């Protein structure tokens, strides 16, 4: 959710022009198409109503139920219920518009501004969101890293620093194994109830690639992936990516039944085999071993629920995020600034051997962040405008009288300067992110 809305932007910058009770047209019990006098309508600024001629007692129309509005063109389309509601009344509109910039353009500027705010402050200022972060374990140098009396590590033991702030909740902390081979990999043909063992193929780049699910995949076919360790992700390398609106239902065995996994693509399309890459899932509570095709393991399975137009062909699969240890909540503490302290376990040396699933953000966006979002986006827009050209007159003369209105360039320069000064004030108040590198 953005830190500011397009309506807040247009109002606070003074770019919005407000139109009240525009007479759009008169209904005739059949017409569906009407046009506003202006385009580039701002989202959440408009409402439609109707009233008999000579009356100002308006009856509101509801978007979607009665009408649709194309904001960029100002075109109104009444649906059947809207035609009936309008009858032969006059259609009125109340809205705000920006002369030269559409709601979409302004929204994109706000998105860019919000990304900058996150980067420069190192914090998220909206509703909390979930993230998965990988961290290197304690580094134990082979030589002293301080002056006398020499020490090998000046960092507090078992302390980790999370990148995203403010941290509101730590869901899971895992100590991970390095990527490992797949223990078992089976294709399952639902039509014949036959398994095909593809374990050797997925574990070796020298083996011939194979078609996932079956030689001719169909809805209901399954891939089974098993390991002696619980694991939270897969890296899939495809020699041919799948094409089509395919879907896969991923599940795990919870001791009594196959249960849905909640997967997240690190590479878009990886979990449905339309791209090579990495995908993960949240912790599967109660995950237990079971036997599939005479092999006992911790299993996940993916069931094809919609067919491909081009079938995916697999080269290799690697198990990622194999769990060496799940750190229990009683064994760690954290604060909102991202410090995570492991109290009940020793953090091992390693690269990307710790995974933390957590949430960060705020309950509501502070008003000063909304202002910062508007100002940052406004600076971008004003800079774009100043890069254009002007053919506006800067002075007028009538007889002996002459009036000068000034150069638009000068006005824009002053606006940008004032906006930047206020932006700096806000950053000085909330603080900027500091990156420290030790050489």
- Give the CATH number, domain containing residue 400: 1.10.287
Which of 346, 361, 376 is at the close of a domain? 361
Statement: residue 140 has pLDDT above 70: no
Instruction: Specify the residue for token string 């385009």.
Output: 39
Residue 413 has what pLDDT? 82
Residue 273 has what pLDDT? 97
Do 162 and 250 share a domain, yes or no? yes
Average per-residue pLDDT for the chain: 90
Which of 327, 346, 361 is at the close of a domain? 361
Do 141 and 216 share a domain, yes or no? yes
Q: Is residue 114 part of a domain?
A: yes
Q: Is residue 167 part of a domain?
A: yes
3-state secondary structure 361-390: CCCCCCHHHHHHHHHHHHHHHHHHHHCCCC
Residue 51's beta-bridge partner residues? 90
The mean pLDDT of 224-229, rounded to a whole number, is 96
Q: Is residue 5 part of a domain?
A: no
Q: How many domains does the chain have?
A: 3
Instruction: For residue 43, count other CB atoms closer than 10 A to its CB.
Output: 16
Do 259 and 341 share a domain, yes or no? yes
Q: Is residue 319 part of a domain?
A: yes
Do 135 and 255 share a domain, yes or no? yes
Cα gap 37→24, rounded to integer Å: 8
Q: Is residue 9 part of a domain?
A: no
Do 175 and 250 share a domain, yes or no? yes
Q: Is residue 1 part of a domain?
A: no
Do 158 and 213 share a domain, yes or no? yes
Do 346 and 233 share a domain, yes or no? yes
The mean pLDDT of 264-290, rounded to a whole number, is 95
Residue 285 has what pLDDT? 94
Cα gap 129→361, rounded to integer Å: 6
Which of 97, 118, 140 is at the close of a domain? 97
Do 187 and 309 share a domain, yes or no? yes
The mean pLDDT of 261-265, rounded to a whole number, is 94
Can you give the pTM of this predicted structure?
Answer: 0.70
Do 201 and 137 share a domain, yes or no? yes
Do 67 and 132 share a domain, yes or no? no
Q: Is residue 202 part of a domain?
A: yes
Q: 222 lies in which domain range?
A: 128-361
Q: Is residue 321 part of a domain?
A: yes
Do 349 and 220 share a domain, yes or no? yes
What's the pLDDT tens digit per position in 168-221? Answer: 999 999 999 988 999 999 999 999 999 999 999 999 999 999 999 999 999 999
Confirm if 251 and 326 have CB atoms less than 8 A apart: no
What's the pLDDT tens digit per position in 313-334? Answer: 999 999 999 999 999 999 999 9
Do 254 and 168 share a domain, yes or no? yes
Statement: residue 309 has pLDDT above 90: yes
What's the pLDDT tens digit per position in 374-401? Answer: 999 999 998 877 665 555 556 666 777 7
């Amino acid at each position: 959710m953005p830190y500011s809305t397009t309506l807040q932007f247009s109002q606070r910058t003074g770019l919005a022009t407000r139109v009240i009770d525009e007479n759009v047209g008169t209904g005739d019990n059949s017409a569906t198409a009407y046009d506003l006098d202006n385009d580039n309508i701002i989202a959440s600024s408009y409402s439609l109503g109707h009233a008999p001629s000579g009356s100002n007692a308006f009856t509101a129309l509801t978007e979607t139920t009665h009408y649709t509005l194309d904001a960029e063109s100002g075109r109104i389309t009444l649906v059947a219920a809207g035609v009936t509601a309008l009858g032969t009344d006059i259609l009125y509109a109340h809205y705000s518009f920006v002369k030269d910039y559409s709601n979409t353009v302004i929204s994109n500027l706000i998105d860019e501004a919000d990304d900058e705010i996150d980067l420069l402050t190192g914090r998220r200022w909206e509703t909390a969101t979930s993230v998965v972060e990988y961290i290197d374990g304690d580094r134990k140098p082979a030589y002293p890293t301080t002056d006398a009396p020499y020490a090998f590590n000046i960092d507090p033991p078992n302390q980790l620093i999370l990148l995203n702030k403010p941290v509101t909740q730590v869901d899971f902390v895992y100590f991970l194994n390095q990527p490992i081979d797949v223990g078992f990999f089976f294709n399952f043909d639902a039509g014949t109830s036959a398994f095909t063992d593809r374990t050797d193929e997925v574990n070796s780049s020298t083996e011939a690639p194979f078609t996932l699910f079956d030689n001719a995949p169909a809805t209901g076919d399954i891939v089974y992936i098993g390991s002696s360790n619980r694991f939270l992700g897969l890296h899939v390398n495809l020699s041919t990516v799948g094409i089509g609106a395919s879907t896969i239902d991923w599940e795990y065995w919870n001791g009594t039944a196959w249960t849905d996994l909640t997967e997240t693509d690190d590479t878009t399309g990886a979990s449905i085999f339309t791209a090579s890459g990495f995908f993960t899932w949240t912790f599967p509570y109660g995950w237990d071993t079971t036997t599939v095709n005479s092999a006992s393991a911790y299993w996940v399975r993916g069931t094809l629920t919609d067919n491909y137009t081009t079938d995916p062909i697999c080269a290799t699969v690697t198990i990622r995020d194999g769990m060496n240890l799940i750190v229990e909540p009683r064994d760690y503490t954290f604060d909102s600034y991202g410090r995570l302290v492991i109290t009940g376990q020793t953090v091992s040396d390693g690269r990307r051997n710790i995974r933390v699933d957590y949430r960060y953000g705020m309950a509501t966006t502070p008003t000063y962040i909304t202002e910062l979002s508007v100002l940052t986006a406004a600076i971008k827009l004003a800079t774009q405008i100043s890069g254009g050209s002007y053919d506006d007159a800067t002075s007028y003369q009538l007889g002996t009288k002459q009036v000068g209105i000034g150069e638009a360039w000068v006005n824009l320069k002053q606006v940008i300067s004032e906006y930047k000064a206020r932006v700096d004030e806000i950053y000085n108040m909330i603080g900027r992110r500091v990156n420290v590198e030790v050489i």
